[in-house]
A = this chain, B = another copy of it.
Amino acid sequence: MDARKRKRVEAAGWRVGSAAEFLELSAEEAALVETRLAVSGALKQRRVRQGVTQAALAKKLRSSQSRVAKMEAGDPTISLDLLLRAFFATGATKRDLARVLTSRRRPVAA
């Protein structure tokens, strides 16, 4: 649950309209978080595969190495806009994005 929602829900004293509504909100949040993580992971995968350093990608984006590290770490202070900007900066297309959204999660190396 991201900071914004946590604050909203806390402000409401956790009295959410109905269970169904709550579950629905959760599903929305989940989809959003999953989307972020999927793009984040795909970004790292593409960058590494291309042998590009975080600093080099940052330069291309006119951002900073630290921001790129945070993108790949799934840091919540990184917007989807920035994340997608970086993803596309690796040469990815909309179709690549679609693929990332439908593919099963690749198992994390042991």
Interface residues of A (CB under 8 A from B): 8, 24, 27-28, 31-32, 34-35, 38, 62, 79-81, 84-85, 88-89, 91-95, 97-99, 101-102
Are B8 and A97 in touch, CB under 8 angstroms? no
Q: How far is the CA of A99 from the CA of B101 in the complex (A)?
A: 10
A-B CB contact pairs (8 Å), 6 listed: A31-B92, A31-B93, A32-B88, A97-B101, A98-B99, A101-B101
Are A28 and B79 in touch, CB under 8 angstroms? no
Chain B residue at minimum C-beta to C-beta distance from A34: B94
Are A97 and B35 in touch, CB under 8 angstroms? yes
A80-B84, A94-B102 known; 9 new pairs, CB 8 Å cut-off, are: A8-B62, A32-B88, A35-B84, A35-B97, A79-B81, A95-B102, A98-B98, A98-B101, A98-B102
- Which residues of chain B have C-beta atoms less than 8 A from A34's C-beta? 94
- Which residues of chain B have C-beta atoms less than 8 A from A93's C-beta? 31
Q: How far is the CA of A101 from the CA of B84 in the complex (A)?
A: 13
A31/B80 contact (C-beta < 8 A), A8-B62, A62-B8 known? no
